[in-house]
Structure 1
């Protein structure tokens, strides 16, 4: 459905204000990197909901542009029980709550393992969006296994070349991605009765259409940038996350991962991750040849030091 954009909209990049909302669960280092990266990108506000309350973390990472919400029992008291029932419902509830009270012009709903990769200053890019556009869609690009900067990301592979790039598993993995291929949105603020979901803006249950795309604006997703991270999150993703079956519908990627976990070869799962996520020179060459490679210097630890100094531990 289409939704008329409240007018006028802010088109002066020096006055335009944008921000991020996220429900997070992670280490202080992970959260500090996420905040620092997006503050450095020019975010005017970073709203973080701590799914596991941690006042010490919020105090250590305090900043004038950062707002922490402790999602403890007191926070959820009086709120619909369904809103707290799953991680996905908590994400949507928290993002929608902030959307409805924010004074920002634009609000992005992303996860802790995602980084907005912008080709220019975000306020300049958003100021140029069609005034009738309700949101901007950011297409995910998946981080490859690299020890540090520069970080390499890949775009989804078209089915005509997928098997060429991923000869063993390409036929079984959509786009060659082990994470989501669904875009995330930066929503224009000011709508009434909308919900800011994980992958869409919704009005009275219907998905709002008419979004824009900005050339070169991608969402870098560190879904499983190394095998250790892949293993660490495996149980949750199979049970409740991106690999679990939904409403009785088989999750093909999750099923493949379970088969590999049961394989007599102890290295079967590692081989799967290597084929799909390796940043070996020959893999980078193939991706570049198909215009599927994005390389960015994120400089995360330098940015953390800039905003928060040296982290303890």
Structure 2
């Protein structure tokens, strides 16, 4: 019996180098197909991706949206529509993961081996994230990522110990999601996927299994400058938008990220956000030691330049 083939679908709006790095990294690690939807039409990036035999790239231009209906204003529904489009295509992979261009799969054992042993009743598997700490070392060396404990009581206790100033309000010490992303079987009638969950009719995440030997390396706050540059958009329309629920103590004084950040800004307009970022993302020795003691420190090397040179040599 042959090993299952896997692929990725992603909706991306980013500079060409970032898109090629994302694609090359996953091709280098065995992705059989990448279905990439360019959220803003980009001829140069489209041409570069289309030349690779394992990449299926779509310009989500006016013609594309004319077939899908009106282009949603927010990127989250656009992601969902594009994921559905990829799922409906001629099946070229056995498993498909819906992830973003700042997320990179890392596995302790080859992903096909992990997928091959899943029971037939498992239609989807969850890959939990580890979040990048700031790092100025070379890309040719591993960089640190922080994890979190899965059981909530343990998670909250550890988080408050590692991040004493802000940890009581931040889920696992993460700036972004802890839900991770799904990889799911293809070719199932009535199956659909959203950003963090999958559905078969009304059944959410049917047969879900946690892939404990796979991680999603998330470069959400990889350095202060990039985090600051994306902060306003994320607070208005992205991961920190106002309508999201608080991670815990919902309705009992718990703060969502939007409210927490608003309070931090109000209390210290100049240094508040810097202090928040520094506590959660600066790889100071005490934090690295604490993460290590709890088994939550992970080191992964992405080396995107090497991946681009291998998979897209004309653009290296």
- Corresponding residue for 1:151? 143
Structure 1 segments of 4 or more deviating over 4 A? 247-251
- Corresponding residue for 1:6? none
Deviations 1:264-304 (A, max 9, x none): 45122111101001122332111001111111122221111
Q: The residue matched to 1:291 in structure 2 has which SS?
A: coil
- Corresponding residue for 1:38? 26
Deviations 1:186-227 (A, max 9, x none): 001121122121111113354233211223211111111111
User: Does the 8 Å CA contact 2:128/2:215 hold for their aligned counterparts?
Assistant: yes
Separation (CA, whole Å) in 2 of partners of 1:17 and 1:217: 16
User: Does the 8 Å CA contact 2:127/2:212 hold for their aligned counterparts?
Assistant: no
Q: The residue matched to 1:244 in structure 2 has which SS?
A: coil
- Corresponding residue for 1:282? 286
Residue of structure 2 aligned with 1:68, choices 53, 57, 68 = 57
Separation (CA, whole Å) in 2 of partners of 1:164 and 1:38: 35
- Corresponding residue for 1:212? 209
Residue of structure 2 aligned with 1:99, choices 79, 87, 92 = 87
- Corresponding residue for 1:48? 36
User: Does the 8 Å CA contact 2:111/2:214 hold for their aligned counterparts?
Assistant: no
Deviations 1:63-121 (A, max 9, x none): 1101110000000003233x634211110111011112233100000001101111122
Separation (CA, whole Å) in 2 of partners of 1:68 and 1:115: 19
Residue of structure 1 aligned with 2:109, choices 81, 97, 120 = 120
| Normalised TM-score (structure 2) | 0.89
User: Does the 8 Å CA contact 1:12/1:127 hold for their aligned counterparts?
Assistant: no
- Corresponding residue for 1:196? 193
Query: What is the number of residues matched between the two proteins?
Result: 299
Q: The residue matched to 1:218 in structure 2 has which SS?
A: strand
- Corresponding residue for 1:225? 222
| Normalised TM-score (structure 1) | 0.90
Separation (CA, whole Å) in 1 of partners of 2:295 and 2:244: 36
User: Does the 8 Å CA contact 2:200/2:206 hold for their aligned counterparts?
Assistant: no
User: Does the 8 Å CA contact 1:195/1:203 hold for their aligned counterparts?
Assistant: yes
Deviations 1:220-242 (A, max 9, x none): 11111111111111111111111
**1:146–1:205 CA distance, 2 compared to 1 (3 A):** same
- Corresponding residue for 1:308? 312
Separation (CA, whole Å) in 1 of partners of 2:294 and 2:34: 35
Separation (CA, whole Å) in 1 of partners of 2:147 and 2:245: 29
Q: How far is the alpha carbon of 1:251 from its aligned partner?
A: 6.0
Stretches of structure 2 that go unaligned for 5 or more consecutive residues are 150-154, 247-253
Residue 12 (str. 1) matches residue 12 (str. 2): no
